[in-house]
Amino acid sequence: MRLRSVRLTPYLFIAPFFAVFGAFGLYPLIYALQLSFMRWRGGSQARWVGFDNYLYLLTSPEFWSSLGNSAVMWLLIVPLQIVAGLGGAVLLANAKLRLRGFFRVAFIVPFVTPLVAMAQVWIVVFDQDYGLVNYLLNLVGLPDVAWLTSTAWSKPTLALLFLWKTTGFAIIILLAGLQAVPGGVYEAASLDGASRWRQFWSITVPLVRRSMAFLVVIQTLAVFQMFTEPRVVTEGGPYGSTTTAGLYLYDHINASDLGTGAANSFLLVLLVFGLSLVSVRMLRPKDEVS
C-alpha cells in the first residue's frame, strides 16, 4: 500500500493542472466543435445540421471578404514588423548605444498600454476634420485625407495602430534571439574580414530565424484575430473594408448565431494553422530543411 501511494504522489501533484485544463480548455473546445454542427441561437433548442454551417460560410461573400481584409492587413503588418523589429533589436543589442535601457522601456510601453485607450487616441489623431495628422498636412499645403472613412486609407491606418502597439514586443523577442548568438562568431567573422553588412546577412539573420518564425506565427494569429482595432476605430467600415476575420466572427456571436460562429472559429483555426506551417517552413534554418 505504501509503495502504491508513493507511485501515485507525482500524479496527485499534476492532477490540478489537468483538472483545470479539462474543465476550462478541453471541454469548451469539444463543446464548440459539437456546436459548429448545430443550429443554435441561445434561447431555442439546438438542432443538428451537419456541415450546413461550414457550407454557408464557405459560400458566403462576407466570409471571404473578411479573410481578404485580414490577409491585406497581414501583408501590411507582418513583413514590415519583422524588418523593423530586427532593426530595432540590432540597435538595442549594440553596447555602444546611449540610453539603451531607456529605449528598451520606451519600445515596450505601447505594448502594455490598454488597446482601447490607444484606439481612442487614434480616432482623435486621424480624424479628417480635427485630427493632428491632417493639421500637419495642411501646414505644408497638402489636403485633408480621410484616414478612417475611405476604403483606400482605413486599412493602412489600422495597420499602423497595430504596428505601434506590437512592434516593441517584436523587438524584445528578436533581441532575445540576438543575445543567444555567441559573441565569438562575430569576432571570428571580423578577423576574416567580413563587413558589418555581411555579418548581418550571414550570421545575424540565419541565427535568429527561429525567433523570426515564432514571431510570424504569433503575429499571424493576432492579425487574423484582430477585433478591438476595427471595432473601436472604424466599426468595420467603410463598406466593410475593415471587417476582419475576428470582427466577422464577433458579428455571428453578437447576433446569437452560435453554431455558425463556432464553425467560423474552427475554419480560422485551420487557416492560421496552415499559414503558420508555411511560415515556419520558409523560415526554417537550412540545416533543418529535409
pLDDT tens across 213-230, in order? 889 889 998 999 899 899
**Cβ distance 208 to 88 under 8 Å?**
no
- The per-residue pLDDT for 183 is 72
Instruction: Say if residue 204's pLDDT is above 90.
Output: no
| Contacts with 51 (C-beta within 8 Å, 6 or more apart), sequence order | 37
**Average per-residue pLDDT for the chain:** 85
The lowest-confidence range among 101-110, 132-141, 232-241 is 101-110
Residue found under cell 466543435: 33
pLDDT of residue 185: 79
Residue 288 above 80 pLDDT? no
Residue 75 has pLDDT above 90, yes or no: yes
pLDDT value, residue 69: 94
Q: Domains of the chain by range and CATH?
A: 62-288 (1.10.3720.10)
Q: Which is more confidently placed, 193 or 156?
A: 156
Tell me: pLDDT of 1 over 50.
no
Among the residue ranges 131-135, 201-205, 234-238, the one predicted with the least confidence is 201-205
pLDDT digits 0-9 by tens, 41-57: 877 788 888 899 999 99
84, 151, 219, 64 alpha-carbon torsion, rounded to 10°: -150
pLDDT, residue 119, reads 92
Q: Check: CB of residue 272 under 8 Å from CB of residue 278.
A: no
Count of CA atoms in the C-beta half-sphere (13 A) of 162: 27
Residues 9-31, mean pLDDT to the nearest whole number: 87
Cell of 169: 514586443
pLDDT greater than 80 at residue 82 = yes
Report pLDDT digits (tens) over 231-259. Answer: 999 988 888 899 999 999 888 888 888 88
Q: CA-to-CA distance for 162 and 154, rounded, in angstroms?
A: 13
